[in-house]
Amino acid sequence: MLAIRMQRTGRKGQAQFRMIVQDSRRSPNGGNIVELLGSFDPHTKVANINKERVVFFLNNGAQPSDRVLRILSHQKVEVPAWVEKAADKKSKTKNPEKLRKNQPKVEKAAEPEVTSDAEVATVDEVAAEETPASEEVKEEEQPTESTAETPEPEVEEMPLASEAEDVLVAEATEPEPTVDPETEAPKE
């Protein structure tokens, strides 16, 4: 049986394909071909096909591959009715309930539109009325975590520059009392 199939040519990353007629028991790259029918460039999607010879081989029983059928349909070549067309390859989705499009819609709460300052004040008043006063008191009574856990460190105040000069002058004028190491009494 003859097959119409694609034979890959070209170097790595720059594939080119030939449309060939070959014995179906042989590999596309290994063995004699019956006839070269055309070529296909997958990068530019350009197909050069001898349509007369393709129709001749199809009418005489050559079975085209799925890719060749797709290319022939794009080239508007009449395919006989007996040719087996590949079924659509639609895979079944695993867990379709997890898809974002199948999730229930979550509606956002619409906020009232405010256009003037007077309306802003009324919206704030309405929001204040909606919250009970007992909740506000409870929030005020509870100490915040930062104040309850960490006490504030004591900070010594630094004297102003004029006061610091006075202190330094006073310390410089007064002699420090000396202490007798044996009696621990101040010496005169």
Q: pLDDT category, 92, cuts 50, 70, 90?
A: confident
Residue 113 lies in a domain: no
Residue 172 lies in a domain: no
This prediction's pTM: 0.47
* CA 36/CA 74 separation, integer angstroms: 19
The yes-or-no verdict on residue 13 having pLDDT over 70 is yes
- The pLDDT tens digits for 135-174 are 555 555 555 555 555 666 676 666 565 665 665 655 656 6
Number of domains in the chain: 1
Residue 68 lies in a domain: yes
Q: Which of these, 148, 150, 167, lies nearest to 158 by C-alpha position?
A: 167
What is the residue range of 47's domain? 2-74
| CA distances, 92 to each of 87, 102, 121 (Å) | 14, 15, 56
**CATH code of 29's domain:** 3.30.1320.10
